[in-house]
Structure formats: structure tokens, C-alpha cells
A and B are shown apart, each in its own frame.
Chain A
């Protein structure tokens, strides 16, 4: 086994962009900032950069810890570090908070220069394509002409895939993990239930809750509860909670009876304590809108025709949010287009969230793949 360690103490940085960014929704952002972190060293040839794209609730804090908050460990710390599958002794790894986010990049919490107030619900809709454009600006600023790889899970995988579509000559490898080429009606339906919970919360105030000194915490918590169900598998929930009763026997009440309820409520409330509801709305919409094949008559192969990157597509056996069959759609389109692609289907009981876990075969696949990337 390789010796692995943490990237250690990390510090987020801010990149500012003066030039306006035209968005797919028709609006334009008059300058913006992106918060990001980096791990490892950019080599002299500037050929070893890897961009990590985050999913719905992720951030730029991908690995390591903060000096003043050592418990705040990056969300993909098990993957990234010296000797780890995404080895920071070899690669220069970048994590970035997407536009519309709530971790410091320009988003609903930022001040709208036109009004002097927080954007709130007026923040323009951002899409996966817009995010990729903004990442490219960050790459420009960091002097990175071409990424050795762009990697992401779930919504992050969609960004990796679109990197290969939008900037074919600026990406060597696209790692698309636990992802899908577009959402199904069922996926959108779950997002809509989550959004309605937020939109109907009396504390939402049309998305301008900041000015009222409140947050739609109940709606956001409920949204997270719905989302959380879709991240786990039936099996893993059953193994974790079964029908365990909090009081050992029914007390005939609508308070927490079953342990799974306690867990979901805890997850929901915790999430509502730090995440922004407007960001949640925006991000679920970005998921809904994502459909790179739509502009090509529904033909994903044609959508991917410009891609020059090599692809690694990974799915998880019990993921029902983005099931293996969804990953196989991507693989099929790449095969049809004569692209270089590898595909692994990892046996893991943890559902969609599997992509965040340290599953030996999964990390074995990623390690083998990253080891073969020449920089």
C-alpha cells in the first residue's frame, strides 16, 4: 500500500474577473469572483493541473483542513493528497466554488452592483455551460492552458463532460463519475419537490429573505431531506436504520418515532444551518436544464463529437439517482463516436453517495487511471 497523507492546512483564494460573463439564460454578470483552493504544485510545463468540479452542495474546499477550523475537512479528502489516487505529488489540483454558490464565489449572497442590495432570487440562472466558461476564466488567470484532467461526481461529472465539449483542446481527460447525460422526469420531479419546500416557506420572502433577517430554514431542511433519500440506497438505509424505534416501542405521535426520521431531520437542519436556499434553487435548476444533446437533435454522440479528451466513466451498482444505465448512455455515445473511453461499474451499497466514499475498487480504478495520465 502506498504511503498517503493529507494535503494539510489549506487556504482558500479569490480570483476576480472584471470582464462580464454572458450567461446562457440571456443575462450577463458584470464581473464576478470565484473562490478556489489548490493542492500540490503547478509544474514548469503547466501540464499537471486537475480541476475538481463539485456537485449540488459541494464547495471549493475539496481537500485538507483549515488552520482555524481543523474539523472542516475537504469533501474529497480521501481521494486527494500525497500518495492518494489523485496524487498531489504529481498533480496540481484545483477546487472551485461555482458561480451562484454560497461559499464565497459570486452568488445570491453577493451584492448586485445595479441595486446595492444582495442579489437574492434576482441572481441570474446559471447553467453547467456557464460554470465551465467561468472555470476557463480561472484557468486563464492561473496560466493553465490545458487541464491534464477535469473530474467530478454527479453534477460535477456533468461539468467534466461539458469541459470536453466546450473546450476540447483544453482538457486531456474527463472523469465523469456517478453522473448522467441529462435528468429524467423522475430526477426533475425530486428537484421540484425540494424547490417547492423552499419556495413555500413563509420565511422565503420571494428570495429576499436576507433583508428580513431570516432564512427559509424549514423549507431548505425539507429539501435536503428529500435529496438525502435519493442519495442513499434502499439497502443502505435499511441496514443503517431498519425500523428501529427511538423509544423502543411506538408512542403514537408525529414526533420522531423511527430512527430514520431522526437522521433525516438532523441532516436537514444541519444543512439549513449553513447552506443558502437561493443557491439550492439555482443549482437544482442547473441540473434540470442540463442536456448537452438537446442542441443536437437529442443525439449525445453529436454533442460529444468535438471532444478530444479521453474519458473515464464510473457508476455505482446501487445508485438509483444516476443509475449505471445512465452512465452507459454516456459510454454508448462515446463508443458510437469512436472516442477513447473506459467504464467501470463499482459494486457499492451506499447508493449515489458512493462516489464520495473510499471504496477500494473505486479508488483502485481512479488511481490506475490517474497514474497513467502523462504530465
Chain B
């Protein structure tokens, strides 16, 4: 999907050669495979959906079947350079917990999510229906998403949790959105760090 490619490219641009990477909610492992091929990263995918675990193994990546809602117990602090969660944060209940865990085991976190305040989504609500779009492909009755938030909401949460936004990019249909991202962008990507780490780097 074209929709996935730019997501992958942006994430890859934030990753250095040979880094240790953890990809949470890795799906069929295609992002991690892409990063292995383009950045020679070493790392693991984490997935809890059995069929996707099989697909990840078939893709030749290391995958761990774990329930992310339980956190990342057993993984050491700072074990990874980047911990990625691509388009999965909205499907997790323990939002604050997993963000804290990502920044515990990783030097930086990379998060992407669909923006519920995208203008087409707003239009759908005004027309009386829950939004269904490329970034929100499910109906309200079968969506795996459990948290419905916007770019503005996410940035507020980061401020509240002491999470430093190192970089944030917003997209509409694969095109970079610079103006009014909370209105104009369907998907947002962030590179996040810890407060203390930020101070260290000056």
C-alpha cells in the first residue's frame, strides 16, 4: 500500500544503520523486514495476533508473541535504540503505560497513529456517522481501535507525561501536511524522547 510506504520511509529516515529496534504491533513483520533491508537493523517484532506471528516468522523476522497490554516486563532498560509502534497506539488500552514502557526500553520511541480530527473524519461526524477512511478503515462495530484521539490530544498527553517530541510529521494521503495538521492530516508520526535524555543531549 502506498499509504504504508511513506510511513516506512519516514520511520527508516529516523533510524541509523545497524540499530537495535523493537517494533510493537509488528503485524506481518513487513516494516521490520524493510528496516532490516534498508538499515540493517537488528531487532524483534512484538505481536499478539497468532496469524500475524506466523506471517512475521514467514517474513524471516524475529517475532515475540506477547500481550503489549501487559507491558514489556523482561526487557531491559535502554535495550533498544528505537522502539516503534506503527499505527497501533489507538488499538491499545494502556496508552500511558505503553508509552512509558517504550521510553524505558528504548532510547527513543517512534509512534504513528490515525488523526481522528482529520477534516474528513470531522465531516463524517457532522453528517452523523463515525468516520471510515483509509486511515480508519473499520466500521464502528468491528474496529480494533479502542482509543480515539487527535494530534492535539497526543501532544497534550506528551506534555503531561514529560515526553519530549523530537520530531513530528503529519500526512494526508502520503503528502506532508505543514499547515493545520490537526485538521488537514490523516496520519501523524512522532519521534519521542525522555525528558532527562533530552537534557543530556543539551
Q: Is the CB of B50 within 8 A of A371?
A: no
Among B53-61, B84-92, B191-199, the stretch in contact with A: B53-61
Q: Is the CB of A361 within 8 A of B50?
A: yes
Is B151 close to A, CB under 8 A?
A: no
Chain B interface residue count, CB cutoff 8 Å, equals 22
Q: Mark A332-349, 1 if CB is under 8 A from B, else 0.
A: 100110101111111100
Q: How far is the CB of A47 from chain B (nearest CB, A)?
A: 18
Given A335-B44, A342-B63, A364 and B74 contact (CB-CB distance below 8 Å)? no
Q: How far is the CB of A84 from chain B (nearest CB, A)?
A: 16
Is A328 close to B, CB under 8 A?
A: yes
Q: How far is the CB of B73 from chain A (nearest CB, A)?
A: 9
Q: Is the CB of B53 within 8 A of A365?
A: yes
How far is it, in angstroms, between the C-alpha of A13 and the C-alpha of B42 when the chains are bound?
43
Q: How far is the CB of A245 from chain B (nearest CB, A)?
A: 38
How far is it, in angstroms, between the C-alpha of A24 and the C-alpha of B60 when the chains are bound?
37
Residues of the A chain whose Cβ atoms lie less than 8 Å from the Cβ of B61: 342
Number of A-B contacts (CB under 8 A): 57
Is A372 close to B, CB under 8 A?
A: yes
Residues of the A chain whose Cβ atoms lie less than 8 Å from the Cβ of B53: 344, 365
Residues of the A chain whose Cβ atoms lie less than 8 Å from the Cβ of B63: 342-344
- Most A Cβ at <10 Å: residue of B42, B56, B62: B62
Is A42 close to B, CB under 8 A?
A: no
Q: Is the CB of A331 within 8 A of B64?
A: yes
Residues of the B chain whose Cβ atoms lie less than 8 Å from the Cβ of A372: 57-58, 60
Is A142 close to B, CB under 8 A?
A: no
Chain A interface residue count, CB cutoff 8 Å, equals 23
Residues of the A chain whose Cβ atoms lie less than 8 Å from the Cβ of B65: 343-345
Residues of the A chain whose Cβ atoms lie less than 8 Å from the Cβ of B51: 361, 364
Q: Is the CB of B54 within 8 A of A365?
A: yes
Q: How far is the CB of A206 from chain B (nearest CB, A)?
A: 46
Q: Is the CB of A335 within 8 A of B54?
A: no
Q: Is the CB of A344 within 8 A of B50?
A: yes
Q: Is the CB of A368 within 8 A of B58?
A: yes
Q: Is the CB of A336 within 8 A of B57?
A: no
Q: Is the CB of B75 within 8 A of A335?
A: yes
Is A369 close to B, CB under 8 A?
A: yes
- CB-nearest residue of chain A to B60: A372
Q: Is the CB of B54 within 8 A of A364?
A: yes
Q: Is the CB of A328 within 8 A of B74?
A: yes
Residues of the A chain whose Cβ atoms lie less than 8 Å from the Cβ of B55: 368
Q: How far is the CB of A349 from chain B (nearest CB, A)?
A: 15
How far is it, in angstroms, between the C-alpha of A168 and the C-alpha of B74 when the chains are bound?
25
- Most B Cβ at <10 Å: residue of A338, A361, A368: A368
How far is it, in angstroms, between the C-alpha of A331 and the C-alpha of B63 when the chains are bound?
11
Which residue numbers of B lie inside 8 Å of A, CB to CB? 20, 42, 44, 50-51, 53-58, 60-66, 74-76, 79
